[in-house]
Amino acid sequence: MSALSLLALFCQSLAAQNRSRRTILWYEQEVRRFFDWLERSGLGGGNWLRAEVVEAYLAYCRDERGNAPATVAGHYRALYGWFKWLAGREYIALSPMTTLRPPHVPDAEPRRTQVEEYAQLLDSIPSSTWVDARDRLIVTVLFLSGVRLGECARLQAADFRTHEHLLKVDGKTGPRLVPLLPAVERAFVAYLFARPASVEPRLFLAADGGKRAKGAIQEKGIYLMLRRRCQRAGLRMLNPHSFRHGLAMHLLNEGGDASLVQKVLGHAQITTTMRHYADWVLDGLAREFSSKMKGLGR
């Protein structure tokens, strides 16, 4: 059986496990990227079932492609899952990953949007055109609802349950409900009134050079919009994920706990939340503990 046929069966297995479409696509793209490298490197047959080959690929991803450590670690995780499945189904005798250690990823403080930066960015966007209204809503949703870039791009008007003050988010770990703040509801209504007529089910429309609508805006379009708006506002580049981190940090600084952040951001497990924000959760715990002790122990 060919490697591509096995990859199709692997993706089918992931679907049977009820993994999300985005997760399945990610695995498929990662394994295909590995296949492409194997072909360019002249490796075929069983030659690629060796730990040294996988190490060479990961080194290529780091040194020649210039990927960040976290990205290389993602390549490792995808191949680990792929080879584990092959070995588990007995298509290969042993996974070449068994003797490999995962790439080291240095601890780094996540880039986060400050409340002041969010306010400055929003204030810099006028309210003249439907594109302005769109961009104001996108920025507001990213920061005040903490949605991921892909989740934002997939939003539909029906997801804004204004009568319940809830936003339904089609997340990578399944749907979740996020509280709708009044500022988000106002921006939503303003965009609805300004949005051009379109049969496109997705809420956010792309615009051509003449500000005419041309279908749904893609994730890259949102990213480029943020870069353009940040430049005009005199701000550093606030990437989409920095808004999620900014919301999380604001909640923690205001006394929210990790379980609240987990629910709002849509982390499947609280361990994910703790891994990202452990230091700040502990800082908040220390402040709360000290305040409750009322000077005892000084």
Query: Domain 115-287 is in which class?
Result: mainly alpha
Mean pLDDT of 116-145: 93
Is domain 3-99 annotated with CATH 1.10.150.130? Answer: yes
pLDDT at residue 265 in the model = 67
Residues of the chain with pLDDT > 90, as a percent, come to 37
pLDDT at residue 42 in the model = 81
Q: Please indicate whether residue 54 or residue 47 has the higher confidence score (pLDDT).
A: 54
pLDDT at residue 69 in the model = 80
Mean pLDDT of 82-107: 86
Paired strand residues for 170:
175
- The pTM for the full model equals 0.61
Contact present, 118 and 183 (Cβ < 8 Å):
no
pLDDT at residue 286 in the model = 46
pLDDT at residue 3 in the model = 83
By DSSP bridging, strand 205-207 and strand 213-216 are antiparallel
Average pLDDT in the chain: 82
Mean pLDDT of 203-218: 87
Report the distance separating Cα 76 and Cα 109, nearest Å: 22
Secondary structure of 272-284 in HEC code, one letter for each residue: HHHHHHHHHHHHH
Going from the C-alpha of 35 to that of each of 258, 266, 291, the distances in angstroms are 40, 32, 57
Report the distance separating Cα 280 and Cα 261, nearest Å: 12
Residues with Cβ within 8 Å of residue 162, at least 6 apart in sequence: 180, 185, 188, 189
| DSSP characters over 19-69 | --HHHHHHHHHHHHHHHHHHHHTT--TTTTSSHHHHHHHHHHHHHTS---H
In this predicted model, what pLDDT tens digit does every residue of 61-88 receive, in sequence order? 888 777 778 788 889 999 999 999 999 9
In this predicted model, what pLDDT tens digit does every residue of 175-201 receive, in sequence order? 888 888 899 999 999 999 999 999 899
Contact present, 235 and 117 (Cβ < 8 Å):
yes
pLDDT at residue 270 in the model = 45
Residue (of 227, 246, 224) closest to 235 by Cα position:
227
Where are the domain boundaries for CATH 1.10.150.130 in the chain? 3-99
Where are the domain boundaries for CATH 1.10.443.10 in the chain? 115-287
